[in-house]
């Protein structure tokens, strides 16, 4: 079923205090899949699946060693459920995600920005599921928003 509600969705699940993900695009550089690393891409896919499927089942995701302390501290179970309800009401339940591309911020190259196209049950609109890893391979931030071919 096609979603006719075009109200903009920008749900920041975690804000990165150490890097500006939505800053000036000239500070970002697209990197190859090899540079991103198949292991990190698989980790991001696993994180998306675990996080969104847990919320789909009505539970809150429990962060373990895969996330930074800041992410664990900022994302409460209540916040997770509230944000997922907004997504579900507008786009339906999480179905899956597919890796699309990777970027780095030139001024902070220790972070890898992995972009996935997320599919949800009530919408043909692809959503961006962005997962950001630090150089210790921990989730340093993530969010969901409508897909754009431009990093913004």
Instruction: Output the pLDDT for position 150.
Output: 87
Residues 6+ apart with CB under 8 A from 124: 2, 3
CATH of 27-146, one of 3.30.70, 3.30.2420, 3.10.450, 2.50.20: 3.10.450
Instruction: Output the pLDDT for position 130.
Output: 96
- Count Cβ neighbours within 10 Å for each residue of 63-88 and write b for 16 or more, e otherwise: beebbbebbbeebeeeebeebbeebb
Q: Using one digit for the tens of pLDDT, what is the confidence trace for 119-149? A: 999 999 899 999 999 999 999 999 999 999 9
Q: Find out whether 5 and 122 touch, Cβ atoms under 8 Å.
A: no
Instruction: Output the pLDDT for position 34.
Output: 96
Q: Indicate the domain borders of the chain.
A: 27-146
Instruction: Output the pLDDT for position 22.
Output: 42
Instruction: Output the pLDDT for position 151.
Output: 84
Instruction: Output the pLDDT for position 7.
Output: 45
Return d(Cα 34, Cα 7) in angstroms, integer.
36
Return d(Cα 68, Cα 140) in angstroms, integer.
6
Positions in the chain short of pLDDT 70: 1-26
């Amino acid at each position: 079923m096609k979603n006719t509600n075009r109200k903009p969705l920008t749900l920041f699940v975690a804000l990165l205090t150490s890097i500006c993900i939505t800053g000036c695009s000239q500070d970002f550089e697209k990197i190859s899949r090899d540079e991103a690393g198949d292991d990190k891409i698989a980790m991001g896919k696993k994180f998306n699946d675990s996080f969104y499927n847990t919320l789909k089942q009505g539970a809150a995701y429990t962060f373990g060693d895969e996330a930074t302390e800041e992410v664990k501290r900022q994302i409460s179970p209540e916040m997770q459920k509230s944000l997922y309800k907004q997504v579900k009401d507008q786009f339906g339940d999480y179905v899956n995600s597919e890796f699309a591309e990777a970027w780095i911020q030139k001024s902070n190259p220790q972070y890898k920005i992995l972009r996935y196209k997320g599919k949800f049950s009530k919408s043909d609109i692809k959503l961006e599921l962005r997962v950001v890893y630090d150089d210790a391979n921990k989730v340093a931030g993530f969010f969901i928003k409508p897909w754009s071919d431009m990093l913004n």
